[in-house]
Each structure stands twice: as structure tokens, then as C-alpha cells.
A and B are shown apart, each in its own frame.
Chain A
Amino acid sequence: MPVLWLVLIILGLAALGFIMGRQRALKSAGGDSRKLHSLPNYYGANVALSVLVPSFGVLIVWLLAQPMLIDRAVSAMIPPELIPENTTTGLVMSDVRRVAEGLDVAVEKGAMSASEANSVRSEFTDLRARLGDVGVALGQDVRPEVLRAAQRYRTLNATGNMALTIVICLVAVAGFINALRHCTAEYRARNVVERAILVILMAAASIAILSTIGIVLSMLFESVNFFGLHRWTDFFFGTTWAPNFRGDSELSILPLLWGTLYISFIALLVAVPVGLFAAIYLSEYAGSKTRSFAKPLLEILAGIPTIVYGLFALLTVGPLLVKVFGQGDNGLLGVEWMSGATSVLTAGIVMGIMLIPFVSSLSDDIINAVPQSMRDGSLGLGATKSETIRQVVVPAALPGIVGAILLAASRAIGETMIVVMGAGAIAKFSVNPLESMTTITTRIVSQLTGDGDFASPETLVAFALGLTLFVLTLGLNVLALYIVRKYREQYE
């Protein structure tokens, strides 16, 4: 693990730098820390930071760039006729990497000497068998070109790693010496550390933003590929979802969107009243004792993995609904409206249960934030508690509550596991909540986990679906934030 060692060396050097920087600064002030510009620890931190930051920066960039450069150099060695029909260079390259790793393992286990690994010829040795002996299974015999590419890959990698070690050590030592020279009483180490902290915080913030942009871009590129293979009019305005492998699939988002919105609507129908009433009870009526155990208990619901809710839908709620609405004369209502356990209603109810703590805990915070003086004013006019809540507290908290509901809605739209298990897999337009339907998220799962060709529209449609879903939930979140912000200004 050369990289781990490198990291340890850098950290050790930084720790040493901290101690030495501190001592050197103190010595330059004759042992009197009051004569220093900054506290001694700042001088130490300055040295440690100038060891850590540049060397880790170079390390990260190097580790990202090296595989790319080596891949490019090695894939140039592979003749085009070696690449089978319908595959890409990537597949052959993964063969190359596998052979290279196999050689590494063989050398490590002593089954092969280092020089032998570099000179072995597949024309003379059964490399597949020899690698198999050390536990590396290869799918086919190793072709000479691939072996040579793998050997080249290994040498390049070894050179790269060696260079990396040297460069990193040089950078770390240079930073160490440079910062140590600055450990004098006049040097403003405190300001430098302050700026370094600012940079670190900014880097953290930009990673969060950049990764969002990265996610959107990756979805966008694959979606563009999809729309190159499939008509966009069919995707947005068609009425049928019927993927097949003959190449004439009808891939329209509308039936899926309908299923998604219908299930989310039922979920909100369950979650909003229950969650809101629970929040009102907890914040306005419950005593501090009830509150102290009921609120965490309710929030436990939020910690249950959604797959468990899915099981609940499949095993409990679905059969229960069938017992009520189905089974003909054996059922509770004596009707035959529902045949299978999976239905819009099953998924909607269970998803609603999942969203209850989401709605209630956000609403609870918002209701608690309504000033007590409002309640006093209303009670002082002779209103009862529920009149006060209905006419003063809830209207005052309404923008926040609407925001909470919209956030819950965007979670409902993006929810996957419950609908995979509870809603079924039939894409259609129907208003009957007792029928199976399917949603965007379940279709993404099934399109990507199938064994379809990755470059086909049937697989790529997943990205277009995902992007649409992203835009939808983003829109809801923006709307929620807008409402919360707009009305908050008005009522304060």
C-alpha cells in the first residue's frame, strides 16, 4: 500500500512540523510568547498546513490523472481488429487491467519472479493456467497483444507510483522547510492560518455544489444520448410504456408520471392530516411528559429503512386491502374490486405512513415558532384552544406548513423501495386506486438492472426518466422555499 505509506509520511511530517514550528517561534522570541505576533500554536499549525495542503493536493490530482494517462498510452497499443464487434475499447482495457492485476498477485505470492512477469510470453506459457493457480480466474486465454499491453501497463504504473512517491516527498519537505524559515516573531502566522481555514471551508462548500452539478451533467449527457436514439415527442407526449428488445419500444413518461403523481397524492392524503394533527397535538396540547416520549417515538418512524416499509406494504397492508376490497363473497365487503396485493392504494398508504414523521416534525417546529403572544391575544378574547389553533396559530404557521408538505411531496415522488414492492409494475392510465400501477423510480430500477445492452434506448431511458424526476423534485423544492420565504417576511 504505497499510497497509505505516503499519507502516513505526510501526516508524520506535519506533526513534526507542528512541534518544531512552535519551538522555533518560541526560541526566536527568546522564550517569551508575548513577544510573538501570534500564539505559538499558530506557528506550528502554519508549518503543518504548508506540509499537508500542497502535498495532499498534488496527491489527489496525481491519483486522478495517472490512470487516465496510462489508459490512454496502453489502449493505443491495442490493434483495432482485436476489439470484437459491438464492444468498445473499454472491455478490452478491463481485460488488460485484469491480467496486470493477475501478474501482480502472482509476483506477490512468489509464483512468478518480477522479471519473469515482465518478459513472459503467452505464446510459450499457458498464462491462464498459471494465474489460475494463484487464484486469478480469467475468462479466456490471454492473447499476446493483451499480455504485452498488460506488461506495459504494469511498468507504466510502477514508474508512475515511484515518481509519485518522490514528488510528494519533495513537495512535503519543501513546504516544511519553507514554513519553518518563517517561524519568527514578526511573521503573522495567525492571519495565514485564518486564510487557510477559510480556503478549507470554501473547498468543502464547493465540493457539495460541484457534485450536484456533476450529477446533473452526467444525467444530462446520457439523456442526450437517449434522445439521439429515441424520439423526444414519444417520450414526453406518447401514451404507452412498452419496452421490448426488438428495437421498436414505446417509451413514454406519461403513464409513469401519472402513476407517480397518483401514488404521491394518496400518500399525502394520508400523511398531511395525520402528520399535521399529530404536530398540533404535540405542540399545543401534550404536556411536557407526553411530548418527551411521544415525539422521539414518532421520529423513530423516520428512521425505518424504506425497504422495511416495502415489506410492510407487501405482507400486511396489501393482503389486508385485498381482504376488504377483493375475494368476492369471502371478502369483508363482498366485492371483487381488487385482485392482487400490489396497488396504488397499498403503496400510497404505506408511503403516507412513512411521510407522517416528516410532516409532523417539520410542522411541529413551525407551530412552536408562532409567538406565544398570538395565542395569548386570542385566548384573551375568549377563544377556546381549538379556535385559537384553527384561526390564529395554523394560519400564522401556514406558509411553513405548506413548505413542509411540498418537501414531503418531493420525497414521495422520489421514493423507490415502497413502490417497487407495493405498487406493481403495470404502466397505465387509470383512476382506480385498487389497480397496480408503476412509477418513474421503479421503472428506472428495472431498466437499469435488466441485462439489456447499455447503449440501447431501453436502458438509456432510465437517465431521461431520472432527469425528469430531478427537475420535478427540484421544482417542488424551489416552490416550497419560495413560499416559506415570501410569507415569512409578511408575518414578522
Chain B
Amino acid sequence: MYDAPSLGAQVEQQDIKISAKKVQVYYGDTHAIKDVDIEIESKTVTAFIGPSGCGKSTFLRCLNRMNDTIDICRVEGDIILDGEDIYDKKVDPVQLRAKVGMVFQKPNPFPKSIYDNIAYGPRIHGLAKSKADLDEIVEKSLRRGAIWNEVKDRLHAPGTGLSGGQQQRLCIARAIATEPEVLLMDEPCSALDPIATAQVEELIDELRNQYSVVIVTHSMQQAARVSQKTAFFHLGHLVEYGATGNIFTTPQDERTESYITGRIG
């Protein structure tokens, strides 16, 4: 999918969902993210690529303030979601995380039944008025997580008993059950085999119809396959950001080119 100029043209009309300006992140004395400016569009899959330790996961975790759970982490700069600064004192990080969902590198189903895993978010946010409502949300989320057919007969079996790929799709279904507007995915396929990876990628492509998806990945093929926009991070800097097709075919920066062609990594 290197040849996706039509897609690139299409997304340029999208609205800006998240815009970050001069974001700095420090872990204690380490300056992990330096001066990152980026605008993430709605209904687009944005991929963050870059060598290990370049700060792409750290930046991703800034977008729903998951970094707040790390004591020594400090974020400066502005991150605007729908016109509101998410680091403003008035913003409740708990509410923010309901709006900006997250899927992690390792599948982390709760030690509960499949049903309760999905119902977890809707329950704590009071999204369901009745049991029937909740059943419907669970079914819808599992269908959209492309796992309904595999688990519909054992909704009350523990979620930890599923295979790795099924667990990850369960976690994605769990994240979309709370109806987020942005879905952050931190290397969602790194623990999966190629078949499960293909299923998850297909799912990401579908999710684009409704959400903005930001995905961190180590696989450049994956970035090229699923994303419309790509951002390349290197040593805490955002080096290059643009339509995926352009980044992979005509990179402007020589560091991007070196990384894509495998000379640095």
C-alpha cells in the first residue's frame, strides 16, 4: 500500500482532532520528548514509527494522560483535544481516558468473564440503562472487535482463557465499548502471530470510519498497511510527519530515509 495518494488526498479534508504544541516530557532528569508539534486528524489512522526508545510510546501516553500514573514523569506544552487543553487543571484525567481509549502492547484482559471484561467500561461510566442495554453494548462491541463469532457461546468463560490474538481483540472491543473518540494503540500486534495481526489490522481499518486511531508500531509494513498519516520519531524529536504514502516513498528528512531503508534502527 505504498501507493495511497488518493487516501492521502481524502484525509486532508478531515478535521483536526488533537493538536499538540511544543510538548516536552521529562522522566526525572531525562528529557524524553523534545518540542513535538503534531496535529492528529479525526477518522484517520495515524502511525507513530521510530527506533526503540525514541519516545513514540511516551508521546502516545501523553494523549490520554496515562503518564500521570508515573510519579517521576512531567509533561510541558499544550495538547488540545477538541479545542480543550487536556493538561488544564479543570480536566479530569478519568473523564479524558473515557474519551481517549487505549489498547496496550500486551493483551491485558481482566481476570473476569469475557462479558464482564467488555461491560467493565460501560458499567463504570453508566452507559447502559438496563441489563438488555448492556447486553446489546457487549454484543455490538464484540462484533466490532471481530471476535463475536468466536466467543458468543462462552461469554461467561474467563477472558484470560482466550488465545493471545483473541485476548488482544477482546481488549480492543473492551476499549471501544466505552465509545471513545480517539483510540490509542501501543504496539497492539507485537505479541501476536501473523494471522492474528492481520485480523487486528483489518479491525483497525474498520475502526477508522468512526474514530481517530493512533497506533505505535515497530513494523513499517504495518504502518504502511493501516495508516493514512505517519509520524517518524527519533531521539525524542518528531522528525517528519505527513501522508503515509509520502513518508514511505519520498521522505524529506535523511534520518527518515535511513530508518525506512533500514540503516538506523
Whose C-beta in chain B lies nearest to the C-beta of A383?
A: B124
Q: CB of A163 within 8 A of chain B? A: no
Whose C-beta in chain B lies nearest to the C-beta of A490?
A: B158
Q: CB of B66 within 8 A of chain A? A: yes
Identify A382's interface contact among B110, B112, B121, CB under 8 A: B121
CB distance from B183 to the nearest CB of A (A): 10
**Inter-subunit contact B94/A384 (CB<8 Å):** yes
Q: CB of A377 within 8 A of chain B? A: yes
**Inter-subunit contact B101/A380 (CB<8 Å):** yes
Alpha-carbon distance between A381 and B127 when the two chains are bound, in angstroms: 13
16 pairs from A and B in contact (CB 8 Å cutoff)? A288-B71, A371-B108, A374-B110, A376-B108, A377-B174, A380-B66, A381-B98, A381-B175, A382-B98, A382-B125, A383-B120, A383-B121, A391-B124, A392-B110, A396-B110, A492-B160
Q: CB of A387 within 8 A of chain B? A: yes
Whose C-beta in chain A lies nearest to the C-beta of B103?
A: A380
Identify A379's interface contact among B97, B103, B112, B125, CB under 8 A: B97
| Residue from B108, B171, B178 having most chain A Cβ neighbours under 10 A | B108
**Inter-subunit contact A287/B71 (CB<8 Å):** yes
**Inter-subunit contact A382/B66 (CB<8 Å):** no
Residues on A facing B (Cβ under 8 Å)? 287-288, 371, 373-384, 387, 391-392, 395-396, 490-492
Q: Give 1 or 0 for each of B66-103: 1 = CB within 8 Å of chain A CB.
A: 10010100000000000000000000001111110111
Q: CB of B106 within 8 A of chain A? A: yes
Residues of A within 8 A of B104 (CB): 373, 376-377, 380
Residues of A within 8 A of B174 (CB): 377, 381
**Inter-subunit contact B178/A381 (CB<8 Å):** yes
Residues of A within 8 A of B94 (CB): 382-384
Q: CB of B228 within 8 A of chain A? A: no
Residues of B within 8 A of A374 (CB): 108, 110-111
Q: CB of B24 within 8 A of chain A? A: no
How many residues of B are counted as interface, with CB atoms below 8 angstroms from the partner's CB atoms?
Answer: 30
Alpha-carbon distance between A380 and B60 when the two chains are bound, in angstroms: 12
Cβ < 8 Å to A, chain B residues 105-137: 106, 108-112, 120-121, 124-125
Alpha-carbon distance between A376 and B97 when the two chains are bound, in angstroms: 11
Alpha-carbon distance between A387 and B126 when the two chains are bound, in angstroms: 13
Q: CB of B64 within 8 A of chain A? A: yes
Whose C-beta in chain A lies nearest to the C-beta of B64?
A: A380
Alpha-carbon distance between A371 and B71 when the two chains are bound, in angstroms: 18
Whose C-beta in chain A lies nearest to the C-beta of B160?
A: A491
**Inter-subunit contact B175/A380 (CB<8 Å):** yes
Alpha-carbon distance between A382 and B121 when the two chains are bound, in angstroms: 7
**Inter-subunit contact B66/A377 (CB<8 Å):** no
Residues of A within 8 A of B175 (CB): 380-381
* 8 tightest Cβ-Cβ pairs between the two chains A and B: A382-B98, A380-B102, A373-B108, A382-B97, A377-B108, A381-B121, A491-B111, A396-B111
Known contacts A382-B98, A491-B111, A491-B158; 13 additional CB pairs below 8 A are A375-B69, A376-B102, A377-B109, A377-B110, A380-B101, A382-B95, A387-B124, A395-B111, A395-B112, A396-B111, A490-B158, A490-B160, A491-B160
